[in-house]
């Protein structure tokens, strides 16, 4: 079989009228509310929801929701299928040292893949999101997103625009637990859509090119379309009412010499205003059975025209046109009729309505649960658990930020997110890891004390000393009994009549002015009482000094003169009396 590939990405529109149907009510090979979707379950019987019977999986080459997605990583040519592309979750990577695997794929634009692991539980699957993707062009996965679909499956999305990727490499510590990798090539959204033709030959109607049967019997009118011989511009139009993003489409041609009738075919894409937005003209020679076209065009398409312009008597004779794509990012469901939740970030979701990412403030697979109120703004939390990923807002702690910080934490109740310990100290008057204990009552400056030791950091109230201000200063300290916090020594001197570091010793007895003396030396600083001298006033003035024996403190000289009959500095010399 000869195949040919081209480039193109398009959006398609169509409308499906929903019909209520229960159970396995569709004919064999069909599914969906209106039975308008092909069934790709192994027994060809699907529930109307698209689910396979309990004991059956998707057919080889298909995967995902309702088995609708074409798996472009599935190869069975020449026995080259690996354990990752064999559609069998029982076969897994055996080499536990594996940290990187490369999976080939049909040339396409990458959108997402399903990775199946040997794990159990949603929490374990989500832990695998450390995996990175890279493509054959050495381009990395852009804006990677992860959705845990079930207990063993992780859906991985990329937002890359390259349209000719042929392999994807998965790297990470958990690659060694991989069992299956399915790469999306989109799903056939053209099947059973409205088609009109410029002409019809007998029973070879236009609707046969979207009937889901891609057999190319050259003579049977059961499978293929054929235009009239007198139609000089044969074409078919596929009209669509709803937007779809297309990645590629396949054209199944007639066999043998009849395949030449599709030679030099042309495709025109039209927008909502019926203006051509993209055109392609085939130029290949020879008998080509299947055309495989990949598009790089990425805009809304309202209708598609396929036409033949080659030859003097052109015939349009093809058996099937398959358009592979998906819903717009904001739509989901088999018919893409449902709108993604507003709680999804940018309102983007997958075909099952699961958000690619939650809007700030929400979590859960459907993003329907609100993140804890205590999460730090913008209030983001773990997709699966609700654990606050950006930390807690002021005043909250624990992983879910649902506990209040202690009331006495400093700086607006800031505390450790895990333990609740007050990390910025305590409000004035409290100490301890969680600031529940009161500071000593006599700490100075509104009872401020050290958070860990409870020592008074700003000194003590007047009259007290010690690390905890639990000792009383000497009652002889000057100025309201103030003393040093650490030693208890009187820092402002002593009351009159006392001396020493603690003012616990008396001044010399004959110091003047109520026995005032120097605190440390005990020298009489205001002089001596009359009749005494020296630094400590412990010596008696000469007895013949005039006026009550007053003398100078420093040297004992009589400062007011001598009594009658004496002279000299100390009045110790007698005067000779003359009659």
List pLDDT tens digits, range 445-500: 777 899 999 999 888 888 899 999 999 998 888 877 788 888 999 988 888 888 99
Residue 396 bridge partners (DSSP): 404
pLDDT score at 5: 46
Shared-domain flag, residues 121 and 160: yes
Shared-domain flag, residues 261 and 149: no
Shared-domain flag, residues 199 and 310: yes
Shared-domain flag, residues 177 and 264: no
pLDDT score at 496: 85
Shared-domain flag, residues 223 and 252: yes
Is 519 inside any structural domain?
Answer: no
pLDDT score at 219: 62
Mean pLDDT of the chain: 85
Six-digit token pair at 363? 């979590």
The answer to which of 14-28, 98-112, 164-178, 414-428 has the lowest mean pLDDT is 14-28
Q: Give, as one character, the DSSP assignment of residue 479.
A: H
Shared-domain flag, residues 158 and 208: no
Shared-domain flag, residues 201 and 309: yes
User: What mean pLDDT comes out for the span 215-231?
Assistant: 79
Shared-domain flag, residues 212 and 309: yes
Is 569 inside any structural domain?
Answer: no
Shared-domain flag, residues 231 and 314: yes
List pLDDT tens digits, range 35-89: 888 889 988 888 887 788 777 789 999 999 889 999 999 865 444 568 899 888 8
Do residues 575 and 567 make contact, with C-beta atoms less than 8 angstroms apart? yes
Is 254 inside any structural domain?
Answer: yes
List pLDDT tens digits, range 117-153: 887 666 666 667 778 899 988 889 999 998 888 878 8
Q: Which of 184, 211, 243 is the last residue of a domain?
A: 184
Is 284 inside any structural domain?
Answer: yes
Number of domains comprising the chain: 2
**Residue scoring higher pLDDT (88 or 3):** 88
| pLDDT above 50 for 170 | yes
Is 484 inside any structural domain?
Answer: no
pLDDT score at 235: 96
| pLDDT above 90 for 10 | no
Is 563 inside any structural domain?
Answer: no
Closest CA to 376 of 363, 367, 389: 389
| pLDDT above 70 for 577 | no
Do residues 558 and 550 make contact, with C-beta atoms less than 8 angstroms apart? yes
Percent helix, strand and coil across the chain, each to the nearest 5: 10, 30, 60
User: What mean pLDDT comes out for the span 516-528?
Assistant: 88
pLDDT score at 79: 46
User: What mean pLDDT comes out for the span 313-321?
Assistant: 90
Sign of the torsion angle spanned by Cα atoms 89, 93, 94, 99: negative
Can you give the CATH number for the domain in which 246 is found?
2.60.120.260
Burial of 453 (0-12, 13-18, 19+ CB in 10 A): exposed
pLDDT score at 181: 95
Q: What percent of the chain is modeled with pLDDT above 90?
A: 32
Shared-domain flag, residues 218 and 263: yes
Six-digit token pair at 150? 């079930």
| pLDDT above 70 for 563 | yes
pLDDT score at 512: 83
Is 157 inside any structural domain?
Answer: yes
pLDDT score at 458: 85
Which residue is associated with the tokens 């398609």? Answer: 12
- Ranges of beta strands (E only) in 428-551 are 430-431, 437-438, 464-465, 471-472, 498-499, 505-506, 532-533, 539-540
List pLDDT tens digits, range 233-277: 999 999 877 888 878 889 999 887 888 888 889 888 888 889 988
| pLDDT above 80 for 315 | yes
List pLDDT tens digits, range 348-360: 999 999 999 999 9
User: Which residues fall within 8 angstroms of residue 139, CB to CB, at 6 or more apart?
Assistant: 160, 162, 165
Q: Which of 280, 305, 328 is the last residue of a domain?
A: 328
Confidence class for position 412, pLDDT limits 50, 70, 90? low
pLDDT score at 122: 60
Q: Give, as one character, the DSSP assignment of residue 501.
A: T
Can you give the CATH number for the domain in which 158 is found?
2.60.120
Q: Which of 328, 346, 376 is the last residue of a domain?
A: 328
Shared-domain flag, residues 154 and 219: no
The answer to which of 8-12, 57-61, 108-112 has the lowest mean pLDDT is 8-12
Shared-domain flag, residues 219 and 311: yes
Do residues 10 and 297 make contact, with C-beta atoms less than 8 angstroms apart? yes
Residue 164's domain spans which residues? 71-184
Confidence class for position 221, pLDDT limits 50, 70, 90? low
Is 92 inside any structural domain?
Answer: yes
Largest CA distance in the chain: 183
Burial of 495 (0-12, 13-18, 19+ CB in 10 A): middle
pLDDT score at 20: 37
The rounded distance, in Å, linking the Cα atoms of 285 and 282 is 9
């Amino acid at each position: 079989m000869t195949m040919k590939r081209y480039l193109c990405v398009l959006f398609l529109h169509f409308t499906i009228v929903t019909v209520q149907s229960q159970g396995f009510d569709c004919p064999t090979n069909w599914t969906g509310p209106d039975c308008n979707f092909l069934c790709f379950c192994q027994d060809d019987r699907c529930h109307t929801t698209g689910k396979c019977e309990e004991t059956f999986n998707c057919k080889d080459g298909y995967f995902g929701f309702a088995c609708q997605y074409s798996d472009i990583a599935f190869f069975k040519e020449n026995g080259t299928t690996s354990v990752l592309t064999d559609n069998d979750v029982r076969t897994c990577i055996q080499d536990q040292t594996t940290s990187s695997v490369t999976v080939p794929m049909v040339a396409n634009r990458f959108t997402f893949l399903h990775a199946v692991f040997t794990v159990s539980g949603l929490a374990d699957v989500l832990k695998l999101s450390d995996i990175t993707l890279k493509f054959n062009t050495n381009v990395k996965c852009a804006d990677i997103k992860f959705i845990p679909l079930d207990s063993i499956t992780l859906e991985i999305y990329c937002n890359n625009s390259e349209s000719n990727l042929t392999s994807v490499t998965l790297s990470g510590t958990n690659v060694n637990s991989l069992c299956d990798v399915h790469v999306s090539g989109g799903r056939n959204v053209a099947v059973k859509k409205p088609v009109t033709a410029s002409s019809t030959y007998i029973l070879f109607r236009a609707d046969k090119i979207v009937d889901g049967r891609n057999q190319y019997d050259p003579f049977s009118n059961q499978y293929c379309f054929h235009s009239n011989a007198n139609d000089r511009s044969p074409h078919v139009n596929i009209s669509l009412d709803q937007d779809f993003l297309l990645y590629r489409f396949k054209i199944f041609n007639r066999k043998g010499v009849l395949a030449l009738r599709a030679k030099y075919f042309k495709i025109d894409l039209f927008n909502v205003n019926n203006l051509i937005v993209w055109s392609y003209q085939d130029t290949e020679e020879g008998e080509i059975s299947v055309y495989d076209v990949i598009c790089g065009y990425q805009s809304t398409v309202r209708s598609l025209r396929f036409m033949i312009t080659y030859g003097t008597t052109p015939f349009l004779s093809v058996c099937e046109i398959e358009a592979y794509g998906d819903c717009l990012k904001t739509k989901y469901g088999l018919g893409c009729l449902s709108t993604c939740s507003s709680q999804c970030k940018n309102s983007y979701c997958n075909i099952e309505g699961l958000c690619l990412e939650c809007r700030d403030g929400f979590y859960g697979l459907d993003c329907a649960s609100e993140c804890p109120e205590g999460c730090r703004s913008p209030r983001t939390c773990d997709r699966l658990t609700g654990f606050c990923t950006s930390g807690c807002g002021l005043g909250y702690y624990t992983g879910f930020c649902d506990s209040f910080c202690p009331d006495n934490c400093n700086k607006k109740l800031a505390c450790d997110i895990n333990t609740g310990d007050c990390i910025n100290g305590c409000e004035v008057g409290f100490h301890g890891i969680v600031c529940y204990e009161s500071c000593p009552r006599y700490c100075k400056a509104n009872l401020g004390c050290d958070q860990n030791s409870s020592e008074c950091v700003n000194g003590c109230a007047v009259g007290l000393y010690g690390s905890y201000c639990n000792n009383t200063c000497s009652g002889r300290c000057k100025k309201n009994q103030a003393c040093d916090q650490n030693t208890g020594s009187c820092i402002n001197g002593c009351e009159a009549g006392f001396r020493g570091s603690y003012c616990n010793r008396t001044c010399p007895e004959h110091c003047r002015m109520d026995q005032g003396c120097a605190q440390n030396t005990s020298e009489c600083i205001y002089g001596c009482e009359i009749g005494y001298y020296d630094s400590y006033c412990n010596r008696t003035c000469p007895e013949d000094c005039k006026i009550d024996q007053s003398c100078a403190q420093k040297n004992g000289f009589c400062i007011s003169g001598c009594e009658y009959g004496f002279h000299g500095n100390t009045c110790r010399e007698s005067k000779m009396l003359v009659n």
